[in-house]
Structure 1
Amino acid sequence: MVVCAKIREIFLPALSSIMIEGKIVSWTVVEGDRLNKGDAMVVIEFDKTDMDVEMFHDGIMAAVLVAAGEFALVGAPITLLAESKEDVQSALAKAQELSKGQPQ
């Protein structure tokens, strides 16, 4: 889903047909890093197996929504990707907005 024209929500993908949630083992990039389509961005644990998840879009990793060690449901946003450096601030504001709707 595109949050706005220049910011994308990146969702936790289903790594199998029975996957409901996954654990973020580690992020292979940090906020502010430029990513290209095909770059590995995160390691997800599911069913005792760790798998790299690759990017499907080019952009800048603007905000991590699910920290390493935490779980997320399949389809839940885990990070925001900005099209350019100028869009990172808007993505950070969107991340704050999204975090307010999450139970603590």
Structure 2
Amino acid sequence: MADSMLNYGNPAEVPMFRINQECLAILVQANDIDSLQPFGGMPGLMAALETNAETGIRGEAGDLYRRHKAFGPNLYLEEKPFPTVVDGFFRLANDPNFL
């Protein structure tokens, strides 16, 4: 499984990492340390992501550009809570078409 998810990319375009965005998302969603074993555990994953447990990423402009191209923007999208019955009531009460 791990070999099919490794992404060596085309170095002529943008230097890629040894793991692609899709695989990384699967690993994060799995939330299971055993799923890291095909990559050599946590040390293997850190090597694939070119990061260090103590110092993190290099962080210069070129490195950030590569990471943005490989994995997309670093955003955390907060999930909106499900509307409650009371929310639905107030929404309907304020809807002129409903009254």
The TM-score normalised by the length of structure 1 is 0.22
Q: Which has the higher contact order (CA 8 A, sep 6+)?
A: 1
Higher strand share: 1
Instruction: Flag the structure with larger Rg.
Output: 2
